[in-house]
Structures are given as C-alpha cells and as structure tokens.
Amino acid sequence: MSRTPSGPDSPGETATPVTGHELLAGFSSLRKGLRQWMDRNIPADGGMTVPRATLLMGLTLKSEPSGMGELGEPLGMSPRNMTVLVDGLEKEGLVRRVGHPQDRRVKLVELTPAGRRVVEQELGPSHAAAAALFDDFTPEERAELLRQLVKVGDSLRTRGIDVPSPGQS
C-alpha cells in the first residue's frame, strides 16, 4: 500500500476512501512480513520452522490428543504435508501418535514431555519476542486491531470459509 489515507487528524482534508483491493493488497504484504518476523524469532538451532513451532504451540492448547486434520487445517497444510511434519517431530521424540479411543483406524497426535519442554524453554520465549511486534501499539490500538481482525474472520465465515476465531488453533 503506497498511500496513507487522510483522516480527521488532517486539517482541511477529507478522508480518502480505502478500497477493498487496497486492503487486500495490505494483507498480502503483511502476510509475507509477518512470516519473516516469525522466522527471525524462532530458535535458529535444531531445525525449527514456523509450521513445526505452530504445531507444537497448538498442541499445548489441547487437553486431549488431536487428529492431524484438525491440527493441519489452521496451518493450511495438506494431509500429506502434515504426515511429513508429524513424522519428523515424532522421530525427534517431540510428539507421539496414539490410537483413537473409538476408531482404531485413526491416529491422534499429542506432545511428549520432551515436546512440552521445547515449547516451554525454546518456543515460549521466541513467541514472546515475536509478539513484541505489537509493543508499539497502545492497549486501545491492540484492542481495535483485534476487533477488526475478528470482523474480517466473521466476514469470511459468513461466506462459508472456516476460519478459527482468535485464540483457537
């Protein structure tokens, strides 16, 4: 987005309407920047990636083992890619597959104690560092940004797109 709309803070000027196309372009450029910011704040050693970190962090929010489809959907990962991701984390002893209590054909994924340690000791601090991006915002600005993001999510859901609400994985 190359222009900044004028607003009520600009004396003598009227607000320039921002189009949906401009907002979409803004989200697209932010997506790339946020991904780079997350990459920079993930521990450099040990081969940690954003999808691996996101999966491990997401598993800490689960009270029970979860299916790979449920875990992969918020990451936008295909079942095949999810299998590769879980295979690697399982090989390192960070997650394990367990049987489904009612359907023996289904395997669920849970954190191991070693995986929980990685999340607490390595990913927790890097997650806090990544979240520091919003330290430049006032509490009111953060609340308004979250409100607007929830509204975008609601708009997608009304159009049939399954978007997790903030706080869900």
Contacts of 84 (CB under 8 A, 6+ apart): none
Alpha-carbon span 20 to 124, nearest angstrom = 36
Q: Starting at the earlier edge strand, list the strands of the sheet with 66-67.
A: 66-67, 107-111, 95-99
Mean pLDDT of the chain: 85
Tell me the per-residue pLDDT of 2-38, one tens digit each, with 9 for 90 and over: 455 544 555 556 678 999 999 999 988 888 888 888 8
Is there a contact between 21 and 11 (Cβ–Cβ < 8 Å)?
no
Fold of the domain built from segment(s) 20-155:
Arc Repressor Mutant, subunit A (1.10.10)
**Cβ neighbourhood burial of 136 (10 Å; 0-12, 13-18, 19+):** exposed
How much helix, strand and coil, in percent to the nearest 5, is found in the chain?
Answer: 55, 5, 35
pTM: 0.68
Q: Residue 97 phi/psi, 5° resolution?
A: -90, 140
Domain ranges across the chain: 20-155
